[in-house]
Amino acid sequence: MFKGMYTAIITPFRDGKIDYSSLEKIIEMQVKSGVDGIIPMGTTGESPTVSFDEHKQFVKKVVQIVNKRVMVIAGTGANATEEAICLSKSAEDAGVDGILSVNPYYNKPTQMGLILHFEHVAKSVKVPVILYNIPGRTGVNFKPESVKELLNRVGNIAAMKEASGDIAQMMNLIELCGERIALLSGDDNLLLPVLSIGGAGVISVLGNILPADVKKVITFYNEGRITESREQFYRLLPLCRAMFLETNPIPVKAAMEMAGYCTSEMRLPMTPLGKELREVVRSELRAYGVKLK
C-alpha cells in the first residue's frame, strides 16, 4: 500500500518551542503539491530532541491538519522497545495510517534482537509498519534475511525505508521478500536507481522544499517516460547533494527558511548551517529556480 512520494517533514521551532503556525503552512503546501504522504517525527523531524509529550502532540496535530487528505505515517522509533511501543500506540490512537520504526540506535542489537524488537512493536499496533534501515545513524544494519524472518512472524510489516546506500542489499531484499514488502528509497540521491531495481517510491528530505518536483521522478518512471524521469532526477541531483552538506536536517531547515516557510532554528546538539554552506544551498536553490525570500 505504500508507494509514491512521502515527505519526512521537518519540525519547525521558534524560540525553543514547536512552531505550529509554520507547521500548518508547511503541511498545506505539501498536500497541494500532491504528495502521497507526510511523515512527522522521523530523523528529519529531529525526533531525538523532542519530549514524549511533544512527540505525541505533534503527531496528533499533523493528523488533524492533514484531515485524511494524504497519508500520515508517524516516526515512532526508539532504542528501547517499550518506548517504541508506547510511541507507536499513541500514534495509532491519534489516527495515523502507519508508523515508521527505525533500527534501535546506539545499543547495536544483534540480528535476532532486531527481529524481536520489530516483532514486538508491530504486534503492539494494528496499523501497517514501515521499517527504517539506516546503519550510518544507528550503528546496525538490518539484513534482508532477517527482514524475511520478521515477515514470517508478523503480518503488518508493509515496507522498508532503505537508507543503507547499498543497492546490492536492496536487490537482495526484493529477491528474498518479493511483493511481501515495498522498498522505499531513504536517500533522495538514489531514488532513480531504487526505482530501476523495483522500488516503490521515496521517503524524501528534499521533498520538504520541492515535493512536486521529487514526485515527478516517480510519476514519469511509472508512466514509462524513463528519459523524462532521468532528466528530472539529474536536475534535482545537485540539490539532493546540497541537502546533505551537513547532517540532515541542518541544510533542509536552512532551505526552508530561505523559502519563507519557517525559521532554521534547531535544538542542540544540532546547530544551524554555517554562513559559507548557506550560500552553497542558496546558490543551488536559485539555480533550480526556487523563489527565495
Active site residue: 6, 56, 132, 148, which one?
Answer: 132
Helix/strand/coil percent split, the chain, to 5: 50, 15, 35
CB-side neighbour CA atoms (13 Å) of 30: 32
Active site residue 143: no
Is the C-alpha dihedral spanning 268, 270, 272, 275 positive or negative? positive
Please work out, in degrees rounded to the nearest 5, the angle formed at the alpha carbon of residue 81 by the alpha carbons of 52 and 183: 95
At residue 189, what are phi and psi to the nearest 5 degrees?
-75, 0
**At 157, is the secondary structure helix, strand, or coil?**
strand
105: DSSP letter: P
Active site residue 161: yes
Active site residue: 60, 148, 161, 253, which one?
Answer: 161
**At 286, is the secondary structure helix, strand, or coil?**
helix
Q: Is the peptide bond before 12 cis (omega within 30 degrees of 0)?
A: no
Question: Which one, of 162, 78, 161, lies nearest residue 124 by Cα?
Answer: 78
Q: Are the beta carbons of 259 and 291 closer than 8 angstroms? A: yes
Catalytic residues: 132, 161
